[in-house]
């Protein structure tokens, strides 16, 4: 066999480097030279997948010394008008978007399969179209007949929404460039296929390339683009995390299959407040808006029962009252169970540890089950005191007063820390008929006349005052 000369060996190595695939973490987007079971960047297990190169052409060259065009600069005091918005008529959707749809914005919507993403976006497209905004709905998962059947069932067949079923990204971009609608909905980004990427639809390379092209098209033409994304079993949007950084807004559609409530939550929004929520109710005619979520989440409360506490929380800019339910039962020999639905399991473990270390109330021999009623997910630390109240109520088999709301953050020392927007929480509780609120001592009630406020300095004082033990 004739050995290759140095130039040929160099060309051979370059060709191998160009054709070799890289490995990318689907959780954080970090690149790796070889496969590994655990990502060193974010610590996720089994998240590294092989990624084909974006292009099979020559390797990219450095920019060199050629001069480019100078970018215009401005100072921070330059006046900038607020972006124009188009409202859909769905108040809950407009709230989550920050007041309406912004032209040239890119929005990513994620949620579990069958949770109602396509239903919500079809209703939104019909509302925008009836308001005068031209809309194109591109479905890559369902046939046109299926989408039309859903529209007829929801009473939207007369809405001027144009429908297409296509997965070829080049054809979709050509169609959108010709039509130039005000809103384009792509359902879903995992089904899009770019012919310049040598990998299967749904892979990391395809999802990233398709998202990049669609976001670039939105910024270039002024068309608002909504991308539907699948989620993993952990509840995160599938595909590289870099897709979430590309778009302007990331919305999660949450809810439990056994409940009729659906929560549309903004986790990122460049045009409005993040952590805002919109509440919907799944009905036979689609998703109906819920103007007063607190009344809906508390509608199933019956007579006072042990293990139930009402938490006055804040979701984005609106106060929301939810019921926290706890069950404490003697555990069989072995490790007791800790089951949490709708709350962070780490916060539960911390609360149990503080109750035992600072108040002398052990939970070691008990199974603990904690749930937020209605399928709501609570993330703010202000729920600590309500969680502690529900746990103690269940353990001591003592029901809390039904006209009392509770909120406050528990520190590791057992002290109760004040939380933000106390006045809004109290006003919402008073509006729903509650007469008493339990909060940290430093809370500023504001103008909550007519509501009795019981302020507690620490967790020990709370336990002694409410449950008669110290």
Distance CA 151, CA 57 (A): 45
Which of 190, 180, 188 is closest to 224 using CA atoms?
180
**DSSP output for 279-317:** EEEEETTEEEE-S-HHHHHTTT--S--TTEEEEEEEETT
Distance CA 227, CA 247 (A): 9
Average pLDDT value over all residues in the chain? 87
Residue 56 reports pLDDT greater than 50:
no
**Selected residue with higher pLDDT from 287 and 68:** 287
Section 272-289 average pLDDT: 90
Section 148-156 average pLDDT: 94
Residue 363 reports pLDDT greater than 90:
yes
Distance CA 191, CA 187 (A): 8
Band the pLDDT of 33: cuts 50, 70, 90: confident
Task: Check residue 20 and give its pLDDT.
Answer: 54
In percent, how much of the chain has pLDDT > 90? Answer: 58
Token look-up 């069950």 returns 327
Domains along the sequence of the chain with CATH: 22-51 (no CATH), 91-291 (3.40.50.300), 296-467 (3.30.230.10)
Residue 222 reports pLDDT greater than 50:
yes
Q: Of 38-47, 139-148, 249-258, which one has max mean pLDDT? A: 139-148
pTM for the model:
0.80
Q: pLDDT tens-digit profile of 290-309?
A: 888 888 788 777 778 899 99
Task: Check residue 114 and give its pLDDT.
Answer: 84
Which of 439, 400, 465 is closest to 312 using CA atoms?
439
List helix spans (H) across 222-264.
Answer: 242-246
Helix (H, G, I), strand (E, B), or coil: what is residue 25? strand
Q: pLDDT tens-digit profile of 365-423?
A: 999 999 998 888 898 999 999 999 999 999 999 999 999 999 999 999 999 999 999 99
Least confident of 65-69, 90-94, 263-267: 65-69
Section 126-146 average pLDDT: 95
**Are the C-beta atoms of 227 and 183 separated by less than 8 Å?**
no
Task: Check residue 470 and give its pLDDT.
Answer: 42
């Amino acid at each position: 066999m004739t050995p290759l000369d140095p130039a040929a060996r160099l060309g051979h190595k370059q060709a191998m480097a160009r054709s070799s695939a890289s490995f990318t973490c689907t959780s954080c987007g970090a690149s790796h030279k070889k496969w590994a079971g655990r990502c060193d960047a974010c610590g996720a297990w089994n998240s590294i997948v092989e990624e084909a190169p974006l292009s099979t052409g020559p390797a990219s060259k450095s920019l060199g010394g050629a001069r480019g065009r100078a970018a215009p600069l401005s100072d921070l005091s330059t006046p900038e008008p607020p972006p124009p918005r188009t409202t859909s008529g769905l108040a809950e959707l407009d709230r989550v978007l920050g007041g309406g749809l912004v032209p040239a914005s890119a929005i990513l919507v994620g949620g579990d399969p069958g949770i109602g993403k396509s239903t919500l976006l079809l209703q939104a497209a019909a509302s925008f179209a009836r308001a005068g905004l031209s809309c194109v709905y591109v479905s890559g998962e369902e046939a046109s007949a299926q989408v039309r059947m859903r529209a007829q069932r929801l009473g939207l067949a007369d809405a001027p929404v144009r429908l297409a079923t296509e997965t070829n990204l080049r054809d979709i971009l050509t169609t959108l460039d010709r039509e130039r609608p005000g809103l384009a909905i792509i359902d879903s980004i995992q089904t899009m296929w770019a012919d310049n990427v040598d990998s299967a639809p749904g892979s990391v390379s395809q999802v990233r390339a398709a998202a990049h092209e669609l976001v670039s098209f939105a910024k270039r033409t002024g068309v608002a683009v909504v991308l539907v994304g699948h989620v993993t079993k952990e509840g995160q949007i599938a595909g590289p995390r870099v897709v979430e950084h590309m778009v302007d807004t990331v919305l999660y559609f949450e809810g439990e299959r056994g409940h009729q409530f659906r929560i549309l939550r903004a986790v990122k929004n460049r045009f409005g407040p993040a952590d805002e929520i919109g509440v919907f109710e799944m009905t036979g005619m689609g998703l109906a808006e819920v103007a007063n979520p607190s009344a809906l989440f508390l509608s199933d409360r019956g007579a006072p029962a042990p293990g139930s506490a009402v938490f006055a929380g804040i979701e984005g800019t609106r106060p929301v009252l939810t019921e926290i339910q706890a069950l404490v039962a003697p555990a069989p020999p072995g490790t007791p169970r800790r089951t949490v639905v709708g709350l962070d399991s780490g916060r539960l473990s911390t609360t149990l540890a503080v109750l035992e270390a600072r108040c002398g109330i052990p939970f070691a021999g008990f199974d603990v089950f904690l749930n937020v009623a209605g399928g709501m997910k609570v993330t703010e630390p202000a729920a600590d005191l309500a969680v502690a109240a529900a746990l103690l109520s269940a353990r001591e088999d003592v029901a809390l007063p039904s006209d009392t709301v509770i909120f406050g953050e528990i520190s590791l020392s057992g002290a109760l820390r004040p939380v933000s927007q106390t006045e809004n929480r109290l006003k919402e509780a008073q509006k729903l008929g509650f007469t008493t609120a339990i909060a940290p001592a430093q809370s500023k009630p504001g103008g909550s006349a007519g509501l009795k406020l019981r302020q507690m300095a620490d967790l020990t004082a709370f336990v002694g005052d409410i449950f008669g033990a110290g």
